[in-house]
A and B are shown apart, each in its own frame.
Chain A
Amino acid sequence: MAGIVISGASRSFGSVRAVDHVDLDVGEGEFFTLLGPSGCGKTTLLRMIAGFCELDAGEIRFGDRRIDQLPAHLRDIGMVFQNYAVFPNLTVAGNVAYGLRARQVPAAETAKRVEDALRLVQLGGLGERWPHQLSGGQLQRVAIARALVIRPQVLLFDEPLSNLDARLRVSMRGEIRELQKSLGITALYVTHDQEEAMSVSDRIALMNAGKLEQVGKPADIYRQPTSRFAAEFMGTANVFPAQALGLAAPVWVSLRPEALRFAEEAPAGWPRLTGTVSRIEMLGPLTRLDVVLANGTVLKMASLDQPHHVLAVTAVVSLAYDPARLVMLP
């Protein structure tokens, strides 16, 4: 087991700089996520580590060992793919044993490790099944078992949950996180879903246009975004010039919807604002509102469902915001 050290990694496709001078340090045993919109370079970076994409410049190490010039099959990596990539011509057990056979592990040990791995992903006893007999969630468990069983130095996940339905996605991400923590394997996870990233990660690297936008713990990036992109990509944010709140600083600020409250429910010290409700979206437990201030700025806010406090569009409301959660953006 080892951490991942990426220094100066670059790769261009034609004139597009897919990965642009990326430096990254993933600690041993850490669950690290590359998050960003499609085309931001996160998958390219993952494929560089896996050995499916050449580097134009820079290097990648697992611990002290440089691996970016090793052929992919010698890198000792467990990889979980978006579309499962379970071999349809092998049984479940055959799939899980595949990497062990490649490493010429003795048959008896292989059988035992395969059984253990299948139990670990709650597929105990299904070893003789064929992939076409399994559901999407089960296939992804096979893929995870297959990647874990070789006890790789590093686990790579390439959007592993995006082919699953919403409920299964939520339960699977919890399982993946628990497995990784219990085994202590360094994991690098790629996703475009910020909620998923926040839920599983120790740290997140937010990527945009081939560069790292911000690296940090999920809560830190959410609460203290350092750029407009980070503020807007990590959940909903109101991003607008500070003057709109009557502040003098010539900067942009970010304010999360939940940092806004109706004036009557807010602590006394919070600055007050007045505006007109322009849109209401009732989502069940949560109601989202757009409020237009006198200067034209639209603020998104969210409040828990309050059956006794029903608002209508065009209603004039008084709001307050938490000054501690107003983030100045450079």
Chain B
Amino acid sequence: MRVAIPQQQHLPAAIAALGLLFLAVFLLYPLLQVFGASLLNADGTSLTLANYVKILGRPFYRGAIVNTLSIGAAATLITTLLAVPMAFALVRLPVPGKAAILAVAALPLVLPSFVSAYAIVLLLGNGGIVTRWLHGIGLGFGSIYGARGIVLVYVLTLYPYVLLPTVAAFKAVDVSMEEAAQGLGSSPGRTVATVILPIVLPAILAGALLVFIETLENFGVPFVLAEDLPIFAVEAFKLFIGETAPNPASAGVLGVLLILTTALVLLVQRWFLNRRRFATNARQTPPILRIGRGLQIAATLYCWLIVLLALVPFFSIVVLSFLEFRGPVLHGNFSLANFEALFDKNMRPFANTLIFASLAALCVTVIGVPVGYVVTRWRSGVATLLDVVATLPFAVAGTVLAIGFVVSFNSGLLVLTGGPLILVLAYTVRKVPFAVRSASAIVHQIDVSLEEASVSLGRSPLQTFLRIVVPLMLGGIVSGVVLSWVTVASELSATVVLYSGQWRTLTVVMFQALEGGGAGIATAAASALIVVTLLPIALLFRLVRRYELG
């Protein structure tokens, strides 16, 4: 039998084939290697569960699992409890400066969380500025290291994941539902509890699960703050890099367990959200509730406090980077010595960061946009498969993917370890799901008949994609490029496994300074990272504003 692909499906089929090929080589194969490493005996000759038995038999690693999950659960719970009332206040209460709050609230999502963790150490750590000052006036508090500090940083950096979708959901509640409930005799409080909350619940849960997954995969924050507390991603890294002897099998076991946990959380989320999809179409945004002066002030303070508290660590680290350090000890004098130390030795890390981020953002876009187009436009099993595979990196911690890369590409046909390309490829794979999601969301907004009109006027599907679809997606593509760029620039978890020699990035410099106690260089690197992140975002913001005004 002849298997023919109909004419109009040549382009999507070709894109899907290339996309699957890329993901097979740079995602599935490395993951398979991690699975393999965890399931093979010492000689690599037969399958065994001995590695799992060994790891799970040790209280230390069982502790790592329990710690990671309970820290994640605590952070998720606190984040949700803080963000949902804030979202309600921002949509329904008379809080001044809402637009500013929402714009600033998104920043922690792009700023590197381990920088926030490091700032917390400098402020509240054992020798921290605030700690010493409080001791000076006779106040003491427990140690910030361990679970408490990690949860604090997670809450401060991840709360927008719950806040932003919940704000959107509150805005989408049709007022007539509330009016109907009140018309049926329900009190305002009861209406919120029985009508509004159930409608926004799916959005809250989706956000909360994102927070939970981020905590499971995060490497930088526990690396800075955990001290002796064992945490999944950090222990996998330590086992693999191995201060004594590298142990890919045990690292593989932790990696596999981490992937399975995240995948499980994602599946639960899908299952839950698929059963509850309440679409309500609000014709107008719901009205602002009338409340007393006292409550208004309280709500305003609450919103501004959370937004600003989340940014305090980033702000302080920029200030601290201009102060004089002697070893780890801070002196109060203004100084550019930290930046001199950072840049004098070598501009390479800075240049590497910019180059890798640019290359990765380019690759992510070139792969993500066509794939996002295909998974939206092409109804077929292949497109569904592509969608699933392209979402998979989301469930894979950077550390684990990087371990897979090292195991896969240090020998054989394709040798990448030791070079710069392996970093760019790992970044690309990690960010592809975000690019695919955002591209797909934009394609949904483009009417199919525009493409059909172009084809019927004589442009081939490929020309139509380039001349009509891409220009119409351009705004979204540019935002996507900037977001990929800034998140790649501050990527830590895969970078620390994959970098080598001259291919260090700013995050690696900071990471090494943390290990070696060079606090001054670490703050300078952190400041540079913040600038590198905020500058493109600010430019994008201006571009969007100008476009909207024009």
Contact = CB atoms under 8 A, between A and B. Distances in A.
Interface of A: 50-52, 54, 69-79, 81-83, 85-89, 98-99, 102-103, 143, 146-147, 150, 156
Please report whether the interface of chain B is mostly helix, strand, loop or mixed according to DSSP: helix
Interface string B282-297: 0000000000000000
Contact of B457 (A52, A88, A98): A98
A89 B453 CA distance: 14
Interface string B165-199: 00000000000000000000000000000000000
A150 B457 CA distance: 8
Contact of B459 (A52, A102, A147): A102
Contacts, number: 78
Given A72-B455, A73-B460, A89-B472, A81 B449 contact: yes
4 shortest A-B CB distances, which residue pairs? A99-B457, A102-B458, A85-B449, A85-B453
A70 B452 CA distance: 15
A81 B452 contact: yes
A89 B468 contact: yes
A85 B463 contact: no
Contacts of B449: 81-83, 85
Interface of B: 6-8, 447, 449-450, 452-461, 463-464, 468, 471-472
A51 B449 CA distance: 13
Given A73-B455, A83-B449, A147-B456, 20 more contacts: A50-B452, A51-B8, A52-B452, A52-B455, A54-B8, A69-B7, A71-B7, A71-B460, A72-B8, A73-B461, A76-B458, A79-B456, A81-B452, A82-B449, A87-B468, A89-B472, A98-B454, A102-B459, A103-B458, A147-B457
A69 B4 CA distance: 12
B457 A75 contact: no
Given A71-B460, A72-B8, A88-B472, A51 B455 contact: yes
Contacts of B457: 73, 78, 98-99, 102, 146-147, 150
B125 to A, nearest CB: 53
Contacts of B464: 73
Nearest to B472: A89
27 contacts: A51-B7, A54-B6, A54-B8, A70-B7, A71-B7, A71-B461, A72-B7, A72-B452, A72-B456, A73-B457, A73-B459, A73-B460, A73-B461, A73-B463, A82-B449, A83-B449, A85-B450, A86-B453, A87-B450, A87-B453, A89-B472, A99-B458, A102-B457, A102-B459, A102-B463, A150-B457, A150-B458
A87 B454 contact: yes
Nearest to A156: B456
Contacts of B447: 83, 85
A170 to B, nearest CB: 24
Contacts of A51: 7-8, 455-456
Given A51-B8, A52-B8, A85-B447, A73 B453 contact: no
